[in-house]
Structure 1
């Protein structure tokens, strides 16, 4: 639904490098539901701009180069373009013309139309058109050659930028600082630095992301959609989200990205295999080992987007704790996906403490967590009596047998006091994390290290061979051995090579990883988890 203020007020992002490029039109986002592509024409026989004459058709070479530019824009924005020979039906017109200003090599004009609503604010008949012109007199030779990499092609991108809703960075109330106003930052500038360019510059891309969200017209992201899209600069900076969900793209540099409230996505332009994802105390680190997107520290981010798929971080910490505590291994890819999906479907709290409290109150959540005990893997791992089960859980969590008092206590709680086995494993783990004795602190550090390693392992699974490779008893045993070798003093940065080697061995594909930046090394072992087990929380600080 389009309302008058959508059309008349430019929606700002709050980022000056974006807002300095936002024009008041044409407003393609507000054409109405179902509009996924824009029509364009090279015809000058009809549909020409009424106030301008002398249009001449682009040559075949110019037309081919323009199609190349529009294909690039589609890949960048998600907007589709459909060519038509009927100029009267086209929304975008391309033509050569003698531009009156002898210093002007190209220009773009646009117009919008709608009937002011007689009742309410909803606009039902919004239309827009744009006209892109290249000079064919003073700049005839330059504009005749629109091959990518030349000055003419950069001019074409500049004018198509206007067609998409970008303005000059020196016009209007929002402006770029003088030192930023050059073509290395935005092709909408008049001040050339480098070039000629055959792609848009970083600020242009950030503004187009804000407008169209990379998923085109009528999509989920961008202006007029449900989710805003923020893009940083190619420097180290802090990017902070708001109280709603959004997409945040660091776009280069070592960024500190905090999604804030809502369900947020961090966007990366390369394929999953180009990045290492590591869990740390503050959240996650995504490091680009193939490009220039740097090391990003992520907090309050629920989804990672890569060019070939997404990775969910939603509920990742609690699912990993369930697997480590109960099965003594990292979650497999499909298991992680399944439990994340089921927790989301239940509307389970994402905060660990709130999730723990919900365990005893939500029958669906209770059944889901307790399903661990009914699995075939559980039957294979714990074929003996309850005491054998408790010993197994202690081995998973602490790497040692329980004291006699602890063994008796937990065995009795399961056999006679209604404590489920799945809840017992989490209670034992959370009890260790709450224990402030010297031994308790060492246990907590050990558990946190195991959870971080397990998380790093599962998040590294990004190929079909790795998914299927971690599907055998032998593979599960190798992952248990990997976690058994973790101690309270394990250097988790150095242990990344062990994670990669373990994964590579089961998939037949050796893996390598870059080192994390020095500033993050000390932060690695500190991940803390407050785990499910609230039903028996008075036991948790003791008897472990």
Structure 2
């Protein structure tokens, strides 16, 4: 049975703080800085000190470690979070902020990065950086991409990713040489426009263009993805240039949405069932926003966590961990309450794309 949490902060602390990993990271920090003149610190000796002063590992992080740039777990990089918040403040205030300034304000305010993320950062699209964004994952063809060997990621993107299973066998990172770090999206107004780009007419009946609220929700989801991965998404009205086409159509049965690759490389449709075309809001803060997040997750190669050879355990196969799950827990903190991608989504997206976008120094990189 899945654990329930009384608040988003309690949930975030359960996911983003790991006592064992924190004590290991703190030992490394102590050795680097020769704390107390010692360079032989271990996780056990750190834990002994915590106990002697009456602090739990989480309490120590909140009071001290967060301001020593010690990471609370492999899903949360403390110093990178300060940098992301500095970038957000610079963009929204018109005043240049540095990571050091943000860290100083946090310390003076008595708020650590995990608490800030739960209370403010999530709604500001200030996302954590995970260990999966630290380097390149090189491959020569679609079937040769290595697994991360971490179930939280491999349950959402297998060694043969979703788009790689299509006849055309491709990955968005292959576009870096021709489109740099940009993916183009459009909101087509006719089925003919989409069909002309190599997509089956069978999925285009009862076609309807997105209304303004649906467009807003889609752009909000793309903004979230951009903040997580560093990919730039640009709207276009040129069907030949577009990579992602978003609209409503009769995709069959009670399926709410569908992401589908056609016959051409680097093109995919994201469709909402036309049954919902006049009622689905899709904007952030609504229950329908998760629908567009889910389908755009597929568009960026994420799969369902309950399918394939690697799956999430039942207690984690829910929307508190990933928008790609079909299960909504009783205490949903992600993604309905905060309208953002869940922690395992962030880890997976950063494994595939890093935080520096297509063709950067992180994520999947094709080599000859």
TM-score grouping bracket, smaller chain normalisation = 0.5 to 0.7
Within the candidate set 181, 194, 197, 1:47 is matched to 194
Distance 1:3 1:223 in 2: 6
Distance 2:184 2:295 in 1: 17
Establish whether residue 69 from structure 1 lines up as the match of residue 69 from structure 2. Answer: no
Distance 1:128 1:9 in 2: 19
Checking the alignment, whether the CA contact within 8 Å between 1:28 and 1:217 is kept in structure 2 is yes
Q: Which residue of 2 aligns with 1:136?
A: 274
Aligned pairs for 1:80-159 (under 5 A) are: 80-102=232-254, 104-111=255-262, 127-137=265-275, 139-140=276-277, 142-143=279-280, 145-159=281-295
C-alpha spacing 1:101/1:188, structure 2 compared with 1 (3 Å): same
Q: Which residue of 1 aligns with 2:177?
A: 33
Q: Runs of at least 4 residues of structure 1 off by over 4 A?
A: 2-5
Distance 2:145 2:214 in 1: 33
Please list the CA deviations of residues 454-494 of structure 1 after superposition, one character each: whole Å capped at 9, or x if unmatched.
Answer: xxxxxxxxxxxxxxxxxxxxxxxxxxxxxxxxxxxxxxxxx
Q: Per the alignment, in what secondary structure is the counterpart of residue 268 of structure 2?
A: strand
Establish whether residue 161 from structure 1 lines up as the match of residue 305 from structure 2. Answer: no
Checking the alignment, whether the CA contact within 8 Å between 1:219 and 1:225 is kept in structure 2 is no
Q: Which residue of 2 aligns with 1:238?
A: none
What is the TM-score of this pair, normalised by structure 1?
0.36
- Which one has the largest radius of gyration? 1
Distance 1:88 1:224 in 2: 25
- Bigger mean CA offset, 169-178 vs 21-30: 21-30
Count of aligned positions: 209
Within the candidate set 211, 218, 228, 1:59 is matched to 211
Checking the alignment, whether the CA contact within 8 Å between 2:353 and 2:364 is kept in structure 1 is yes
Checking the alignment, whether the CA contact within 8 Å between 1:40 and 1:93 is kept in structure 2 is yes
Shift of 1:136: 2.3
Distance 1:134 1:90 in 2: 18
Q: Which residue of 2 aligns with 1:200?
A: 341
Aligned pairs for 1:374-389 (under 5 A) are: none
Gaps of 5+ in 1: 114-126, 227-544
Gaps of 5+ in 2: 1-136, 164-169
Shift of 1:4: 8.3
Within the candidate set 318, 325, 344, 1:182 is matched to 318
Shift of 1:17: 0.6
Q: Per the alignment, in what secondary structure is the counterpart of residue 76 of structure 1?
A: helix
Establish whether residue 218 from structure 1 lines up as the match of residue 363 from structure 2. Answer: no
Q: Per the alignment, in what secondary structure is the counterpart of residue 210 of structure 1?
A: helix
Shift of 1:204: 0.4
Shift of 1:31: 2.2
Indicate the structure whose relative CO is greater, using CA pairs within 8 Å and at least 6 residues apart.
2
Establish whether residue 19 from structure 1 lines up as the match of residue 154 from structure 2. Answer: yes
Distance 1:99 1:111 in 2: 14
Checking the alignment, whether the CA contact within 8 Å between 2:218 and 2:283 is kept in structure 1 is no
Q: Alignment RMSD, CA only?
A: 2.3
Please list the CA deviations of residues 430-455 of structure 1 after superposition, one character each: whole Å capped at 9, or x if unmatched.
Answer: xxxxxxxxxxxxxxxxxxxxxxxxxx
Aligned pairs for 1:343-354 (under 5 A) are: none
Please list the CA deviations of residues 147-180 of structure 1 after superposition, one character each: whole Å capped at 9, or x if unmatched.
Answer: 2111211111000100111000011111111121
Q: Per the alignment, in what secondary structure is the counterpart of residue 267 of structure 2?
A: strand
Checking the alignment, whether the CA contact within 8 Å between 1:10 and 1:24 is kept in structure 2 is no
Considering fraction of residues, name the structure with more strand.
1
Q: Per the alignment, in what secondary structure is the counterpart of residue 225 of structure 2?
A: helix
Please list the CA deviations of residues 366-413 of structure 1 after superposition, one character each: whole Å capped at 9, or x if unmatched.
Answer: xxxxxxxxxxxxxxxxxxxxxxxxxxxxxxxxxxxxxxxxxxxxxxxx
